[in-house]
A and B are shown apart, each in its own frame.
Chain A
Amino acid sequence: MTDTLLAVEGITKRFGGVLASDGITLSVPAGELHAIIGPNGAGKTTLIGQLTGEITPNGGRVMFGGEDITTLPTYERSMKGLARSFQITSLFLDFTALDNVALAVQAHAGHSFRFWRNARSEEELRAPARAALERVGLSHRADTVIASMSHGEHRQLEIAMALATRPRMLLLDEPMAGMGPEESAQMVKLLLELKKQYTILLIEHDMEAVFAPADRISVLVYGRMIATGLPDDIRANPDVRHAYLGEQEAVVIDG
C-alpha cells in the first residue's frame, strides 16, 4: 500500500462574490501520475495557487507527506520537495539555459550567502544542472540564452527547472501548452519516463493528451471536482461528458 503524498481536503477559495474553489478534495498516492482536467475557468489556476502557496485558501487543508502545508510560504514548499512548472513560461530570460537550471540547483544546495566564489565555476551546481538538461533533452542548448530559444524548448526547460530542485512531487501546469502534436508526443514520452521516479500532478486542458500517462484523472468544473477515477471510467462518465465534452458532442451531432 503506497502512502498518500499529497492530500487536498475540502479546499475553498472565494474572490469577492466568486467561489473559485468549492470544497475540492483530492488524494495522490506516492508514485502516481494524477491528471486534473477541466475547461477554461474551472479554477485550475486557483487550485494550483493554493497548492504552491501563492494563494491561501479560505477553508480546508493541504497535506504534503503527512505535513500540513496549507499556510506554508512558496519557497518552503519547494524545500519540502514540491516542485512546480509554470503554464506561462516563467524563466530568467537574460540567462542561459544552464544558468537557469543551476539556479534551481543552487536553491537546494545550502544557503546562498556566499559572496566570493564565481557561481558559474562551481561544479557542485553545474553538474546536476547539466544532468537535468540532459533528462529533458536540452543538453545541446545549455549555453543558449533563454530569449533565443523556442517555445517548445521553454516548456522543456520548465520541467528541467523543477527536476533540478530534487523534488518528491512534480506539479506540472499545462506543460504542453502551446505545443504542436509532435512536441506534445515528446512531452508525453518524457512524462512516462519521469513517472517512474516522481509523483506527478498534471494539470491539463486537453483530455486526450493525458490519457496515456495518467493513472487516475480528476475533473474540475466551476471550482468543483465532479469526478475522480481511472481514465476509462472518466471517459465514460456521463457527468464528465456533459460538463466537459458536452459542447463538443453537440457540435459533432449537428455538424
Chain B
Amino acid sequence: MKALTVRNIVVGALMVFLALVPVYSQMTGNVFLMTLFTRIVILAIAAVSLNLIMGFGGMVSFGHAAFLGIAGYSVGILAHEGINSGFIQWPVALIACALFALATGALSLRTRGVYFIMITLAFAQMIYYVGVSLDRYGADDGLTIYRRSDFAGLINLSNKTTFYYLCFVCLIGTCYLVWRIVNSRFGMVIQGARSNERRMRAIGFPTYRYRLTCYVIAGVLCGLAGILLANHTDFISPATMHWTKSGDLIVMAVLGGMGSVLGPVLGAVALLVLEEWLPHAIAVAGQLITGKPVGAAKEYWALILGPMLLLVVLFARGGIDGLLEKFRRD
C-alpha cells in the first residue's frame, strides 16, 4: 500500500474533491464550477498522456496538442456531415490519432533532444495550418458541433453531470492504464531508454520500436481527451492545436511533477485554477490597494505565468510533487 505521505494525502484529497464536484455544484447551484472542472479533468487526461512519453520516456513533444485537434476535428467533421453516433465518431477519432502518431513518430523518433522538440513542433504546426485551411469546416473560425456524440440512449452526454462523471472515469481509467504500463516490462524499457539509451541497446533492446509504440499510445490517450473536449465545448477550431496549447500541456506536466503518473493531474488543476482565480485575486487586491476597480486583470496572467515558469524551472524543478515530497521525513 502506498505510504501515507503529505503528498499522497494531498493527491488523495484532490481525487475525492474531483469526484464530488458535481455534488457540490448541485448543492450550491454553481454550474460554472462544474464547467471549469470538466475542462480541468479533460486537460488532465491530456497532460497525463503527455507525461507518459515525456516524464517516463524522455521524449519531450512540443506537438501533443495536435492530438486534441485531430480527435476534435474527427468528431466535428463527422457531426457536420450528419454522423452523430459516438460508436462511429470515437473510434474514427482514436484511429486518426494513432495514424498521425505512427507517421510523425516514425520520423521524429529517429532524432533526439532538441531536434525531437523542433520536429514535433513543426508537425503540429503543419496540422494546425491544415485546420486553418479547411474552409468547409470553418477554417480559422472553427466548427460548431450542434449535437454531442450519440450513444443510442446508453449514456446522455448532454447532461452536464453525466458528462462530468464520464470525463472523470476516463481520467481515472487513463491514470490506471498509464500506471500499469509504466511498471510493466514495456514501461521498464521506456524508462530505461530515457535513462540511458546507449546502455539499452548494448544489452539487447531495439529501443526504437518500443518508443514508437509508446508515442502512439500517448497520442491515442490524448485523442480521448480531444474527443471529450470537443463534446464539452461543442466546438472545435485550429486554436485547440496551436503550439502554445502544446506548451500548456508541458507546463501542466512539469508544474505537477513529471516523475509520477498523477503529477500532471496536480499540474492541470493548479494551472487552470490559478488561471481562473488569480486575475480575480489581483482585481480584488488591486481594488483594495488602489481603491479603484482594476480592469482587465486577466491580462496580467500571462505576465505572471511567464516568469513563474522560469522560476519553477530554476528552483522547483520537481514541481508540486517535489515540493510536497519535502515534507517526507527521510
Residues of A that sit less than 8 Å from B by CB = 52, 54, 73-76, 78-79, 83-84, 86, 90-95, 99, 102-104, 106-108, 112-120, 122, 125, 161, 164-165
Given A78-B204, A108-B204, A113-B213, A92-B185 contact (CB < 8 Å): no
Interface majority SS on B: helix, strand, loop or mixed?
A: helix
Q: In the docked arrangement, what's the CA distance between A125 and B180, Å?
A: 17
- Asked whether A93 lies within 8 Å of B195 as measured between CB atoms, the reply is yes
Q: In the docked arrangement, what's the CA distance between A94 and B195, Å?
A: 8
Chain A to chain B: the 5 pairs with minimum beta-carbon distance, closest first = A78-B204, A107-B204, A92-B195, A112-B185, A114-B185
B198 interfacial contact with A, CB 8 Å: yes
Residue numbers in A under 8 Å from B184 (CB-CB): 114-119
Instruction: Render B157-201 as a binary contact track against A, CB cut-off 8 A, 1 for contact.
Output: 000000000000000000000001101111111011001101111
Residue numbers in A under 8 Å from B203 (CB-CB): 75, 78, 83, 103-104, 107, 161, 164-165
- Asked whether B196 lies within 8 Å of A92 as measured between CB atoms, the reply is yes
- Asked whether B210 lies within 8 Å of A92 as measured between CB atoms, the reply is no
B24 interfacial contact with A, CB 8 Å: no
- Asked whether B192 lies within 8 Å of A103 as measured between CB atoms, the reply is yes
Residue B181 contacts which of A99, A106, A115 (CB distance < 8 angstroms)?
A115
- Asked whether B201 lies within 8 Å of A92 as measured between CB atoms, the reply is no
B129 interfacial contact with A, CB 8 Å: no
- Asked whether B205 lies within 8 Å of A107 as measured between CB atoms, the reply is yes
Instruction: Render B190-232 as a binary contact track against A, CB cut-off 8 A, 1 for contact.
Output: 0110011011111111110010010000000000000000000
- Asked whether A112 lies within 8 Å of B198 as measured between CB atoms, the reply is no
Residue numbers in A under 8 Å from B188 (CB-CB): 99, 102-103, 106, 112, 119
Residue numbers in B under 8 Å from A94 (CB-CB): 195
Chain B residues touching A, range = 20 to 34
Q: In the docked arrangement, what's the CA distance between A77 and B205, Å?
A: 10
- Asked whether B199 lies within 8 Å of A86 as measured between CB atoms, the reply is yes
Residue numbers in B under 8 Å from A125 (CB-CB): 185
Residues of B that sit less than 8 Å from A by CB = 180-181, 183-189, 191-192, 195-196, 198-207, 210, 213
Choose among A54, A84, A114 the residue with the greatest number of B CB atoms under 10 Å from its CB: A114
Given A92-B192, A92-B196, A95-B195, A120-B183 contact (CB < 8 Å): yes
Choose among B180, B198, B206 the residue with the greatest number of A CB atoms under 10 Å from its CB: B206
Name which residue of chain A comes closest to B206, CB basis.
Answer: A75
Choose among A74, A108, A117 the residue with the greatest number of B CB atoms under 10 Å from its CB: A74
Q: In the docked arrangement, what's the CA distance between A52 and B199, Å?
A: 12
- Asked whether A84 lies within 8 Å of B202 as measured between CB atoms, the reply is yes
- Asked whether B201 lies within 8 Å of A90 as measured between CB atoms, the reply is no
Residue numbers in A under 8 Å from B186 (CB-CB): 112-115
Query: What are 27 A-B contacts with C-beta separation under 8 Å?
Result: A75-B203, A75-B204, A75-B205, A76-B206, A78-B204, A83-B203, A90-B198, A92-B191, A92-B196, A92-B199, A93-B195, A94-B195, A99-B188, A103-B189, A103-B192, A104-B204, A107-B203, A112-B185, A112-B210, A114-B185, A114-B186, A115-B184, A115-B186, A117-B184, A118-B184, A119-B187, A164-B203
Q: In the docked arrangement, what's the CA distance between A107 and B199, Å?
A: 11
Q: How far is the CB of A55 from chain B (nearest CB, A)?
A: 13
Q: How far is the CB of A86 from chain B (nearest CB, A)?
A: 7
Residue numbers in B under 8 Å from A86 (CB-CB): 199, 202
Residue numbers in A under 8 Å from B200 (CB-CB): 75, 103, 107
Name which residue of chain B comes closest to A102, CB basis.
Answer: B188
Given A90-B196, A106-B185, A113-B186, A74-B213 contact (CB < 8 Å): no
- Asked whether B202 lies within 8 Å of A79 as measured between CB atoms, the reply is no
Residue numbers in B under 8 Å from A118 (CB-CB): 180, 183-184
Residue numbers in B under 8 Å from A54 (CB-CB): 198
- Asked whether A165 lies within 8 Å of B204 as measured between CB atoms, the reply is yes
- Asked whether B202 lies within 8 Å of A78 as measured between CB atoms, the reply is yes
Q: In the docked arrangement, what's the CA distance between A75 and B186, Å?
A: 17
Q: A75-B201, A112-B205, A115-B180 are in contact. List 4 more A-B contacts (CB 8 A).
A: A52-B202, A78-B201, A86-B199, A86-B202
Residue numbers in B under 8 Å from A114 (CB-CB): 184-186
- Asked whether B201 lies within 8 Å of A74 as measured between CB atoms, the reply is yes
- Asked whether B183 lies within 8 Å of A119 as measured between CB atoms, the reply is yes
Q: How far is the CB of B242 from chain A (nearest CB, A)?
A: 32
Residue numbers in B under 8 Å from A78 (CB-CB): 201-204
Residue B202 contacts which of A74, A106, A115 (CB distance < 8 angstroms)?
A74
Residue numbers in A under 8 Å from B196 (CB-CB): 90-93
Residue numbers in A under 8 Å from B191 (CB-CB): 92, 95
Choose among A52, A94, A112, A119 the residue with the greatest number of B CB atoms under 10 Å from its CB: A112
Q: How far is the CB of A246 from chain B (nearest CB, A)?
A: 35
Q: How far is the CB of A91 from chain B (nearest CB, A)?
A: 7
Residue numbers in B under 8 Å from A104 (CB-CB): 203-204
Q: How far is the CB of A233 from chain B (nearest CB, A)?
A: 33
Residue numbers in B under 8 Å from A115 (CB-CB): 180-181, 184, 186-187
Q: How far is the CB of B207 from chain A (nearest CB, A)?
A: 8
Q: How far is the CB of A94 from chain B (nearest CB, A)?
A: 6
Q: In the docked arrangement, what's the CA distance between A75 and B189, Å?
A: 13
Q: In the docked arrangement, what's the CA distance between A125 and B183, Å?
A: 14
